[in-house]
């Protein structure tokens, strides 16, 4: 299993994370927090290649993690639903599970 805990936005070029994507095709991955926002330029940047960079991030990174986020959501609880109930790794995980709402201490 690969755990991705990376966080950066503006300082990357196409191909920088292709190695990570190749590994992810062969191994399960866990995406931690800010990794979802990675490969997004800061909102205040008006780079001439902004649309091209966003298209690259969407086609590669966000397609891999299954979502595209740009900012933190409100501090709310979220729920999970166990869809592979017979999978051995989920044997002791409850069918329904909900986190507690927490406040983020970093900005």
What is the full DSSP assignment across 49-99?
THHHHHHHHIIIIIHHHT----S---S---EEE-S-TT-GGGTTS-SEEEP
Q: Is residue 104 part of a domain?
A: no
Specify the pTM.
0.52
Task: Provide the domain limits for residue 65.
Answer: 2-72
- Report how many domains make up the chain: 1
CA–CA separation, 23 and 6 (whole Å): 15
Residue 107 — pLDDT band, cuts 50, 70, 90?
very low
Q: Is residue 88 part of a domain?
A: no
Q: How far from the centroid of its chain's Cα atoms is residue 94's Cα?
A: 23
Mean pLDDT of all residues in 30-37: 79
Q: Is residue 65 part of a domain?
A: yes
pLDDT tens digits for range 48-77: 777 887 788 888 888 888 877 766 666 677
CA–CA separation, 20 and 88 (whole Å): 26
pLDDT, residue 106, reads 47
Q: Is residue 55 part of a domain?
A: yes
Q: Is residue 8 part of a domain?
A: yes
Q: Is residue 93 part of a domain?
A: no
Q: Is residue 92 part of a domain?
A: no
Q: Is residue 40 part of a domain?
A: yes
């Amino acid at each position: 299993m690969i755990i991705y805990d990376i966080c950066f936005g503006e300082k990357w070029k196409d191909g920088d994370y292709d190695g990570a994507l190749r590994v992810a095709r062969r191994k399960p991955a866990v995406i931690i927090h800010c990794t979802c926002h990675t490969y997004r330029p800061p909102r205040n940047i008006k780079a001439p290649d902004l649309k091209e960079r966003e298209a690259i991030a969407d086609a590669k990174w966000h397609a891999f993690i299954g979502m595209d986020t740009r900012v933190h959501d409100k501090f709310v609880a979220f729920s999970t639903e166990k869809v592979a109930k017979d999978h051995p790794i989920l044997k002791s995980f409850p069918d329904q599970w909900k986190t507690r709402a927490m406040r983020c201490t970093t900005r």
